[in-house]
Amino acid sequence: MVTKLKQLWRLVQESHAQPIAGETRLAEIVAPSELGVTFIGHSSFLLQLGGRSVLVDPVFAKHLILLRRQRRPGLRINEMPAIDVVLLTHAHMDHLNIASLRRVVRSAQMLGKKAPDVVVPWGVEDLVAALGFSRVHGMKWWEKLEVRGLSVTLTPCKHWGARMFNDTHRGYGGYVIEAAGHSIYHSGDTAYFSGFTEIGLRLHPQVALLPIGAYFPDSYRTVHTSPEEAIRAFVEVGAEWMVPMHFGTFNLGREPMDEPPQRLMDEAARLGISSKVKILEEGETMRLFDQTAVRGAPVLNPHQQGI
């Protein structure tokens, strides 16, 4: 325990050593027939599909208790479209941030819109019950939910869900979201496991959002994928495009902060699939057009700089 506390304190000190980098941008709005994937940072995304707006694991906070983020969120909450649904993959503080969730609800109300619904794995409902969401939906692996015009399936992963170490009843997972002929898979935090193939065979996502950071020391790979394992997961899922996540924002592992995307692209090049891997900057949007255009390359549109 003493060794773990020393390691944690070293990470906290290192997180304050450099100024926060990155720029915040204006959210790009896509047409109802398009799929828009906007990287906010870490594992946080704004997804637009079927005319609906979805946030996955929204964390806009500057600090996780004492650990400070290294790059700014790519979007501002009050400059995004009103959110219809929030998806939370598990209860860890770098994925379920209470202050950010309250701000998301408040922003929808200030726009005169209905508060979003929130979807969580089993056992996480109590953490979000009092935050003002219109409805809280708890799910188990492979359950399918129709919510606000979207189809949402909770998928298995290899991780853990406790928020305070001893509340191990809490669930965890990823999601496949479908609407208007589009589908996208957010794996949540996960180690490599044999379930990626089944997810692909059952749900056929177009885009896979997969984690590539916090894999060193090697013991961390019991709950996190290395970049090479993330590429293997992408191939097994069978998606058309991969967007990496869970790197560069919070210093959670001992690997250099800039190493995960380098290793990712090296492995993609080795396998001849570099063109299928899209590393998004914070605030950058990948757009996939209607189903007849989806087979072509995605469009990455630069955003107007935020003020």
- Is 196 among the domain residues? yes
Cα 184 from Cα 290, distance rounded (Å): 14
100: left (phi over 0), alpha (psi -120 to 50) or beta: alpha
pLDDT for 17: 63
Whole-prediction pTM value? 0.91
- Is 187 among the domain residues? yes
Q: Which residue shows structure tokens 């107007």?
A: 304
- Is 296 among the domain residues? no
> How many CB atoms are closer than 10 A to CB 271?
14
Condensed to tens digits (0 to 9), the pLDDT of residues 286-307 reads: 999 865 444 445 766 544 333 2
Condensed to tens digits (0 to 9), the pLDDT of residues 67-122 reads: 889 999 999 999 999 999 999 999 999 999 999 999 999 999 999 999 999 999 99
- The phi, psi pair for 40, rounded to 5°, reads -95, -35
- Is 70 among the domain residues? yes
CATH code where residue 132 lies? 3.60.15.10
User: How many domains, the chain?
Assistant: 1
Cα 111 from Cα 113, distance rounded (Å): 5
Enclosing domain of residue 30: 2-275
Mean pLDDT of 5-20: 64
Q: Tally the residues of the chain.
A: 307
Q: Which residue shows structure tokens 């004492």?
A: 66
Cα 302 from Cα 150, distance rounded (Å): 27
Cα 113 from Cα 117, distance rounded (Å): 12
- Is 293 among the domain residues? no
